[in-house]
């Protein structure tokens, strides 16, 4: 029996079907799932948007968008199978009567209703109400929603409260797409399937942890959304804190959602707050100015399409995070993320404590530290840096740090690493929540981030500029160099 035949057919109702997320990520992911035969034959995709389109026009549009996204020739047979599942409805999401259209075509007794909110979070409440009007807020229903859920703790609580009027926690799937990336999942495997790391994973052996999520892209095309959010709400509050939680959590009892979420939540609760007393020392905020990325001249943040000259929104943030628990006592976690940086590069680097006693070069305390580099994207893989003797005949042994490298592409000879949304859509259909974020996690992440943003508001933490195409403001380096450390130089 294939995996597909094990699952119940569903009506995947896609709110915001013509939007960016849907066209760039969700529809291509559904195409790939179809290609892998992972969609139930009776499953339907009910695409909803406010644009007045005929079903044929939507199908043409979908075909074009998928072709643009998958970077390979679209497979006609696969698309035809997908096309047979696609239906389009034109709806005004704020008009309750419009949802009655769904009542006419969906029967929850035949197909499980799964509603995906690819819309701004301000619409989540009204969509839940509409689903209920359509008779689809039944116990078997599931709802899937994108970050950011709110713009601070209070707004997040309000949105959650509205959703909770219609759905219980076990029906709600909150997406943080980083949790669907193979390499982020591999963090769990690396930690909990390899005994060699178990006894090394705490303050006894680890000196510092660095998490970098750098993007080449600017914010053109999304200036209005981004200027409200900034890099802290767009990336730090969710993706970086989730990666940090996966690295720092205690071993969960099992892979089930309750165990994993419970352990991640404990980490978020243990984050030392950023307040006016440590904000200057522990954080750096930046905004890009014009520069060049891969030889191409690019505008500064304020000159991007739709940009306004007075904005003080950060497009870069670096922060020293401390986790106040036994395991991580005294181990700084350095997080940095920004737009328009030198290259797209995300990694986690674990630095182990230096040798205390040197026999190879007595008197030279600067032997390189061992480090474990987990490359999240691109060139996904894991590398352990260890000291080796150079094979040469000299009176004194010469040492050099070299890497033991597992490159996913080469090692697993994989033609394609699945996009995070393929994994996450599959998990929703399977009803497994362990890769989705709980309400408590979202709220605790906001609580910590609110502290940081309030401290910035009430303080004179400067907004540094950095040239597009660099690793961010110089002061992000100072955050580390003041303790004799430096950011890992990606190879």
Contacts with ligand BG6 by CB under 6 A lie at 215, 217, 234
Q: Is 323 strand, coil or helix?
A: strand
Q: Is 399 strand, coil or helix?
A: strand
The least CB distance from residue 232 to ligand BG6, in Å, is 12
Q: Residue with structure tokens 């006609």?
A: 76
Classify the phi-psi angles of 7: left when phi > 0, otherwise alpha if psi is within -120 to 50, otherwise beta.
Answer: beta
Rg (CA), the chain: 24
Of 112 and 174, CB closest to ligand BG6 = 174
Q: Is 2 strand, coil or helix?
A: coil
The least CB distance from residue 489 to ligand BG6, in Å, is 20
Of 345 and 385, CB closest to ligand BG6 = 345
User: How many whole angstroms separate alpha carbon 12 and alpha carbon 14?
Assistant: 6
CA angle 382, 467, 341 (to 5 degrees): 20
Cβ atoms within 10 Å, residue 430: 12
Of 215 and 347, CB closest to ligand BG6 = 215
Q: Is 445 strand, coil or helix?
A: helix
* DSSP-derived pairing of the beta strands 316-321 and 333-338: antiparallel
Of 215 and 227, CB closest to ligand BG6 = 215
Of 305 and 361, CB closest to ligand BG6 = 305
The least CB distance from residue 200 to ligand BG6, in Å, is 28
The least CB distance from residue 458 to ligand BG6, in Å, is 26
Of 225 and 329, CB closest to ligand BG6 = 225
Spatial CB neighbours of 31, under 8 Å, sequence gap ≥ 6: 66, 70, 74, 78, 79, 82
The least CB distance from residue 95 to ligand BG6, in Å, is 28
* Class of residue 379 by CB neighbours under 10 A (exposed 0-12, middle 13-18, buried 19+): middle
Of 282 and 337, CB closest to ligand BG6 = 337
Q: Is 239 a catalytic residue?
A: yes
- Decide if 454 contacts 277 (C-beta within 8 A): no
Output the residue with the shortest Cβ distance to ligand BG6: 234
The least CB distance from residue 316 to ligand BG6, in Å, is 12
User: How many whole angstroms separate alpha carbon 74 and alpha carbon 143?
Assistant: 29
DSSP 7: S
Cβ atoms within 10 Å, residue 459: 14
The least CB distance from residue 115 to ligand BG6, in Å, is 20
User: How many whole angstroms separate alpha carbon 273 and alpha carbon 451?
Assistant: 6
User: How many whole angstroms separate alpha carbon 322 and alpha carbon 273?
Assistant: 9
Active-site residue identified among 239, 345, 385, 444: 239
Mind telling me the catalytic residues?
239
């Amino acid at each position: 029996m294939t995996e597909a035949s094990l699952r119940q057919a569903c009506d995947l109702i896609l709110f915001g079907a013509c939007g960016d997320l849907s066209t760039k990520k969700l529809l291509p992911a559904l195409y790939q799932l179809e290609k892998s035969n992972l969609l139930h034959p009776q499953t339907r995709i009910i695409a909803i948007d406010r644009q007045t389109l005929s079903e044929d026009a939507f199908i043409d549009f979908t075909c074009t968008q998928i072709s643009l996204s998958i970077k390979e020739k679209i497979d006609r047979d696969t698309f035809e199978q997908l096309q047979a599942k696609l239906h389009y409805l034109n709806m005004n999401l704020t008009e309750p009567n419009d949802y009655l259209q769904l009542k006419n075509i969906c029967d929850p007794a035949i197909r499980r209703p799964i509603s995906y909110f690819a819309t701004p979070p301000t619409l989540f409440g009204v969509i839940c109400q509409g689903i209920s009007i359509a008779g689809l807020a039944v116990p078997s229903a599931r709802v899937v929603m994108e970050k950011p859920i709110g713009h601070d703790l209070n707004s997040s609580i309000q949105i959650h409260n509205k959703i909770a009027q219609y759905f219980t926690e076990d029906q709600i799937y909150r997406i943080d797409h980083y949790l669907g990336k193979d390499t982020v999942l591999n963090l769990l495997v690396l930690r909990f399937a390899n005994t060699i790391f178990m006894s090394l994973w705490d303050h006894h052996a680890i000196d510092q942890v660095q998490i970098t999520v750098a993007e080449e892209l600017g914010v053109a095309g999304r200036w209005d959304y981004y200027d409200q959010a900034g890099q802290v709400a767009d990336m730090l509050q969710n993706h970086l804190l989730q990666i940090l939680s996966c690295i720092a959590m205690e071993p969960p009892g099992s892979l089930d959602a309750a165990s994993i979420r419970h352990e991640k939540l404990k980490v978020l609760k243990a984050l030392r707050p950023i307040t006016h007393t440590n904000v200057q020392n522990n954080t750096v905020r930046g905004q890009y100015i014009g520069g060049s990325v891969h030889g191409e001249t690019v505008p500064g943040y304020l000159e991007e399409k739709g940009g306004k000259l007075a904005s003080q929104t950060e497009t870069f943030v670096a922060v020293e995070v401390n986790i106040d628990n036994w395991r991580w006592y005294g181990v700084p976690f350095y997080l940095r993320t920004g737009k328009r940086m030198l290259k797209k590069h995300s990694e986690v680097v674990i630095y182990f404590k230096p040798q205390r006693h040197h026999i190879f070069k007595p008197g030279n305390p600067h032997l390189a530290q061992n480090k474990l580099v987990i490359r999240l994207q691109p060139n996904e893989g894991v590398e352990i840096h260890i000291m080796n003797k150079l094979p040469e005949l000299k009176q004194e042994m010469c040492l050099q740090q070299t890497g033991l490298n597992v490159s996913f592409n080469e090692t697993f000879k994989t033609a394609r690493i699945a996009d995070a949304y393929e994994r996450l859509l599959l998990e929703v259909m399977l009803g497994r929540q362990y890769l989705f974020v709980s309400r408590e996690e979202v709220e605790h992440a906001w609580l910590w981030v609110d502290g940081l943003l309030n401290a910035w508001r009430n303080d004179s933490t400067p907004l540094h500029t950095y040239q597009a195409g660099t690793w961010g403001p110089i002061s992000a380096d100072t955050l580390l160099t003041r303790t004799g450390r430096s950011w890992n130089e990606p190879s």
